[in-house]
Every structure is written in structure tokens, then in C-alpha cells.
Structure 1
Amino acid sequence: MAHNFMSTLTASFAMPAAENPTVAVMDAVFAHHGLDARYINCEISPESLGDAVRGALAMGFAGFNCSLPHKVHVIEFLDELAPSASIIGAVNCVVIKDGRLIGENTDGKGFVESLRTVVDPAGKDMVIFGAGGAARAIAVESALAGASTITVVNTTVSRGQDLVDRINADTQAKATLVHWDHEYAIPAATDIVVNATSVGLFPDIDARLNIDTASLLPSMVVADVIPNPPKTHLLTDAAARGCTTLDGMGMLVNQGRVAIKLWTGVDVDGQVMRRTLEGLFA
């Protein structure tokens, strides 16, 4: 009986890389499904990124994740961008197929999958805090999923306006910008509220968004992208106001699920990934 000793190779390229828990999550879910696959956590400097990408191609990798600071820089080494990655202007997942390097962005896809467990964004009015990488991905994927309106609330006008312009130019959603220089009251007609900033992320867990919490209504779904801690002040406040809440753990898990599907074609069990993350963040 012939044996195949060739593992499916995947990786993460980031700098710094030591605190990235993804490798533990990937190893756990590969083992659970009996997949002969490896996920290698690599610290890659910006100067070495091109060499790393060419090396992954030469060694027959199925693909790799790209984290900070490589999400934009990596694009110059790729052959193709998926539609949402092209609009977002950033890549966090590369698929290697038939010798071609295809840039994807799983941040927004992971969020929309998580969101759909409580509400479909199609036809909904959204408020998104932030205009950085996570906010851009979430806004674009939500727009492509059929969101009706997206209000981007951001402290930096230029960055927020760039995101709004991209959504209006490349999707059917109607986007507007609010300059976040005051305590923001969420409009009563809002269906979905998303914190896509780092406010409240460990270790600064006592930080709060500059919003009027009295404007949170029971009709709203309130989501936070922060996975650690999973229960942020925003989600606690929203739950107290009767809102449906969604933590950042689901987005993180689904990013990984989407990446594995792109690399291997296998749909993996998100609960295995979530339990692993919860153990790491405990």
C-alpha cells in the first residue's frame, strides 16, 4: 500500500508573529478533521516579504495568511485579487492555485458569516465605527451582501471618506461619513451597529467608545470585532439595553474557516476553533 508523506502546507506571514494564536487554532482543527496539513507561523520582515511569497510558491504551499504589516504590500507580488479584496485594497489571505497567487480578504467574509447567525445584512441600515483594516473589510463585505446603507463613523475624515467613496463607487450600498469628534448618538432606524476599532481590546479593556449608550435600542444588533475579551463594555452595555449582541470570536473563527475552505476545499468545524481560542484567552 502506497503512502503519501506530502503534507498540505499553509502559513502566516506577519511581523511581529510570536503572539499570533492562529497556529494553535489551525493545528487543533486540522487534527480534529484528520487533515494532513501544517500551518507555520512565520515572522517576515517587509524587506523579506517578496522572498517569502516566492518561497511559498516554490515549495508548493496551498496558501498563507498575511497579517500586519503586509496586507497592502503583498498585493504587488500577487497575480490576481478577488473582487472584495480589490475594493478593500488589502489582502489577508493568499490562495496558490495552478501556480497563480490569488489575494483574498477573509476579514469581512468572516464577519458576515458570523453576523448571519443572528441577522442577514441584506436590506439593513448599518453604523460602523472605524475606518481601518477591519472596518474596511466589514463595510465592503456587508455592502456586497446587500446592506442598504452604511454610516462610517471615524475620527479621521480623510480615511473615513476614502472608505465611503469606495463603497459608493463599487457596491450598491449608500455610504455616508460622520466625523467622530463628539459623543455619537446612534440613529433609531439603525439595524446593525459594529465596533471595528481597537477600543476595548486587551490590555486596555476599560476603554469605551464615545457613544450615547442610551441610543442603543432593543431592535438593534450590536457587534464588536474584539475577540479578547469577548465580552466588551460595548456588548455589556448593549445587552443591558436589550440589544442582540455578537462578539468578535465568531469573526475570528470564521476567518479561519473561510481560509481553510479556500486552501483545502474542506468545511471545518468552527466550534473546535472557538473552543481552542477560548482556552487561549481564558
Structure 2
Amino acid sequence: MNFLSLITGCFAMPAAENPTVAMMDAAYAHHGIDARYINCEVPPEKLGDAVRGARAMGWAGFNCSLPHKVAVIDHLDGLGESAEVMQAVNCAVLRQGKLIGENTDGKGFLKSLLEVADPAGRSVVVFGAGGAARAICVELALAGASTITVVNRGRERGEELARLVGERTGAVAKFLPWEGHFAVPAGSDIVVNATSIGLYPDVEARLDIDLDALQPGMVVADIIPNPPRTRLVRDAEARGCTVLDGLGMLVNQGVINIKYWTGVDADASVMRRRIEAIFGV
């Protein structure tokens, strides 16, 4: 194999066939981009060395997974708008010799959501307060969502996220504790599961919510890509809701990453087909 002049990397745990790696490489091959997307397992104490190595090798950028999304900021030269607000980075981009941190998780979700609904002026309920919920809440707020309700079992983390959104964006944000069987408030337009409930192998796990509160006309989204048709997706669909699976967010954040790194508008359908083949959809 010839030396590749452009290499993007993913600071993540390796896997036998990592779906993200397969998806990105499928896009590179389809568009004739001289690049490869590689997994690099980096322990927290070596994160600085890894970033310096990426600089030294001339990488166009890299993705950054947990537990590095906050710590990596100390090793970068600047942040994009939404990454600055949420103080979390999943994508570094080399721009004019500087590594700039972006967050494409929320952008990928927003791009997927816009295919079925515009969040501007809408009331949104987000379950969870972790990194994915943080990215999604900030991007939806920046896109004009009027109200964002954070629902989380841990009060401190949930209140912190609601406070961040309320103080740093134009949206009204509030926290509701997730205590027992939760009923989505009437009048909610968009409901998002940003937790890991239902992720493989616990595919039959179900959010502890009142399913009768899911009404036709609501958009119900699950960020879990494996399996794509989670219990929440199936339950919401049966109640006449418009549903979004987690593959859209995964594919679209990959599309945005490639645009940042190469300037190419990647074909999302090529990437989605590769992911679906891996998951047997």
C-alpha cells in the first residue's frame, strides 16, 4: 500500500469491525479520497502525546471519544462556536496550522432531525445529561428551539446542563427529575433519548416513561445506532409519532467530519448502506 498523504484518526477503543471506521473508509473509497480513518487506543495520561503526534504527522484532524472529549481542549488551539458553548470536543480540524476543536455529534443529530422537522420555535424534551445530550441540547438551542427540558436521574448533572443551555443560548431551559415512570409534558414537539438505554446487547431495555404521553405529531428520536430500531423507536412509531433512529446522527456527523477534514461533501447514502450492512438492517 502506498503511503497515504492524508490520515484522519479516531481516539477510541478498537473493535473487530468498527462501524464508524467502516463507514468512513467506505466514503473515502467512494469519493477517491486518499485517506484512511484509523482507531488509536489512547489512555488519558497519553492524550497530550497523541495530539502532539497528530500534529507532527500532519493529520488533517481526528475524532475524539470518551473519556477525552473535555480533556482534549487543553491540547488544542481553539474551539468552534458550539464546542465553545458546550465545552466538549469530538472532532479536531487542522486549519491554517492550528488544531481547532468542533463537536459534530449535535450537528449530526440536527442534520438528521431537519429531514423531518425544524426545531426552531419547538419545545424539546431530552432524556439524559451526558456528552451526547449536551451536544444535542446546545445545537438544538442554537438552531432556535424555544424550550429545552432536560430529564435526568442525576439532579446535579441535569441542572448543570439546563443552566448551561439557558445561560449560553437563546432557549429557555429547565430540568425535570426522572423519578419513576416519567410522562412527557403535554405540548412537547420533539422527544430525544440521549441515554444508552436500549443499546446492544440490552436491546429490549425500555425507557421508564409513560408511552401514552407519546402523541401523533410528536417527533421521537433515539440516538442509539445499534440496534437502529430500538424499543423506543418501535413504541413511538406504533403511537403514530414520526421517528428517527440513531443511524442518521452517526452518518451525518461522519459527513460533517469529512467536510471539515477534506472539503468533500460525502455521499451519506454510501455511508448509511455500509452501516446497515454491518448491523444487518
Q: TM-score under structure 2 normalisation?
A: 0.96
Matches within 5 A, 1:83-94: 83-94=81-92
Q: Distance in 2 between the 1:160 and 1:5 partners?
A: 47
> Which of 242, 253, 256 does residue 254 from structure 2 map onto?
256
**Residue 18 (str. 1) matches residue 15 (str. 2):** yes
Q: Please, which moves more after superposition, 193-202 or 40-49? A: 40-49
CA distance in 1, matches of 2:262, 2:31: 12
The residue aligned with 1:274 is 272
| Whole-angstrom CA distance in 1 between matches of 2:57 and 2:173 | 43
Q: Which consecutive segments of 4 or more residues in structure 1 shift more than 4 A? A: none
Number of residue-to-residue matches in the alignment:
278
Retained in 2: the 8 A contact 1:201–1:226? yes
Alignment partner, residue 113 of structure 2: 115
Amino acid corresponding to residue 118 of structure 1 in structure 2: V
Q: CA deviation at 1:6?
A: 5.2
2:113 and 2:244 in contact (8 A); partners too: yes
Match of 1:104 in 2: 102
The separation in 2 between residues aligned to 1:226 and 1:5, in whole angstroms, is 35
Assess if the C-alpha contact under 8 Å between 1:7 and 1:38 holds in 2. Answer: no
Mapped partners of 1:65, 1:5: distance in 2: 21
State the Cα distance separating 1:53 from its structure 2 match: 0.4
2:147 to 124, 146, 149: 149
Please give the root-mean-square deviation of Cα atoms over the aligned residues, in Å. 1.2
Report matched runs for 1:183-222 at 5 Å: 183-222=181-220
Matches within 5 A, 1:65-76: 65-76=63-74
Distance 2:36 2:238 in 1: 43
Q: Which runs of 5+ in 2 are unaligned?
A: none
The alpha-carbon deviation at position 131 of structure 1 amounts to 0.3
Offset at residue 279 of structure 1 (A): 1.1
Q: What are structure 1's unaligned runs of at least 5 residues?
A: none
Q: Helix, strand or coil for the counterpart of 1:75?
A: helix
What's the % identity of the aligned pairs? 64
